[in-house]
Amino acid sequence: METATSGNFGIMKEMKAHSSFQMRPLAHKPVSLAVIGGGAAGLFAAAAAARRSLGCLVLERKARPGAKMLMTANGRCNFTKDVSAERMLADIGEPVASFVRPALTAFPPSRIAAAFRLCGVKTRRMPDGRLFPASGQAATVVHALGDLLRDEGVPIAVNCPVVGVQPVKRGFIVATRHFTIWAENVLVATGGVSFPKTGSVGDGQEFARALGHRIVPYRAGLTGFETNDPRVRSRSGLRFEDGSAKILDGAGRVLHSCRGEVDCEPWGVGGAAVYNCQRLTARHSGPFSVVVEFDGQRLTLANPAPRPVKESIVTIGGVSTDDVDPDTMESRKVPGLFFAGEVLDIDGPTGGYNLSLAFATAHLAVRTCFARTKSGASVVRQLRHMV
């Protein structure tokens, strides 16, 4: 009868016999990069770290990573747009464009598209430049990142909410409910507070606040306006492709106009044309009105209320960009702490802009971490064109 001791001895003997197994002392050392959040920015950061052989661990609070990405563009995932970095920055506008310029210049849409092609994602380009996976399925993009991390041996801890981040002498202690991680660097990529069921609950912003960063109040971004106008209610459920929306200030001057879809909903008006105008009103101070045209109708809404932030496509607000170095995505207050994606107070129009911002800021953060490693500093110039 085999005892527990003899059984363990048999296992050890088998492991020793395996050519790749070596008996060695176990040492406790920090992971190079702990990524908090397994959404667009977090997964892309982990992929970028894997391409550079930078030790990385992803901590994701939900049961599966990439939940919000699976929802984007009605499940089709418009992951970037085939335009130049300068065009994308112009479309994003201030005050966001100045902050994200270094990230998008270093990793423009063309390189984002190339990175996904390198992962095996075939793409489909729309006439306006929007890029989708050729499969028409957002899961293609999420699985491509997941497969890369699997093949590179990058661990993802799911069902693993982080409860705190504490700076220590040589890095950080990242605490979960059941264990802690020692990390040289931490990247917070937890998203905004929109669609909280996907895991975006504002925990990353609270970690930042506890470490001395200013949090800009949350507002809805890329959402519709509420109205009870009978012209909208009578067309509820209809979409008008050739619609338009424009913002007027208190003096009647046009601040922004946009052509595109206008959707009539039970609660009001939505669609891309309306969403892109609403995003700008969220950063506008003072009175305004929105003029929406669709199906031969002209609707004027004075200071309309947007839908709740939890229903918005993006969250405006979050970690203040004043507290983050735009050239590195590193905190100005806590060295070694980085931010990427929607956890920051950054946003863009519909059409692949916000995912592009997530990918570009994540890439810049990882590039900075890699350049600081003993091995990476000597070869960083050779790898600038990698994912």
SS3 annotation, 252-269? CCEEEEEEEEEEEECCEE
Give the start-end residues of each E strand in the chain. Answer: 31-36, 56-59, 80-81, 123-125, 130-133, 156-157, 162-168, 171-176, 180-188, 215-221, 225-226, 239-249, 254-265, 268-270, 288-294, 297-302, 314-319, 324-325, 330-331, 337-339
Report if pTM > 0.85: yes
* Res 228 pLDDT > 50: yes
What is the biggest distance separating any 2 CA atoms in the chain, rounded to whole angstroms? 91
Calculate the alpha carbon distances from 70 to 73, 101, 134, 308, 317 in Å.
Answer: 9, 27, 15, 21, 23
The string of pLDDT tens digits covering residues 81-110 is 999 999 999 999 999 999 999 999 999 999
Which architecture, in CATH terms, is 31-220+310-383? 3-Layer(bba) Sandwich (3.50)
* Res 120 pLDDT > 90: yes
* Res 280 pLDDT > 60: yes
pLDDT of residue 21: 56
Report d(CA 255, CA 277) in Å as an integer: 9
Pick from 67-81, 315-329, 369-383 the range whose average pLDDT is largest: 315-329
* Res 190 pLDDT > 70: yes
* CB neighbourhood size of 264 (10 A): 28
Residues of the chain with CATH 2.60.40: 230-307
Residues of the chain with CATH 3.50.50.60: 31-220+310-383
Mean pLDDT of 131-145: 96
CATH topology of domain 230-307: Immunoglobulin-like (2.60.40)
pLDDT of residue 376: 46
* Res 134 pLDDT > 70: yes
Higher pLDDT, 13 or 152: 152
* Res 29 pLDDT > 90: no
**What is the band of 6 on the pLDDT scale with cuts at 50, 70, 90?**
very low
Mean pLDDT of 355-364: 98
* Res 387 pLDDT > 60: no
The percentage of the chain sitting over the pLDDT mark of 90, rounded to a whole number, equals 86
pLDDT of residue 23: 73
* Res 271 pLDDT > 60: yes
pLDDT of residue 13: 55
pLDDT of residue 375: 46
Least confident of 161-165, 364-368, 380-384: 380-384
- Mean pLDDT, rounded, of the chain: 91
Higher pLDDT, 382 or 291: 291
The percentage of the chain sitting over the pLDDT mark of 70, rounded to a whole number, equals 91
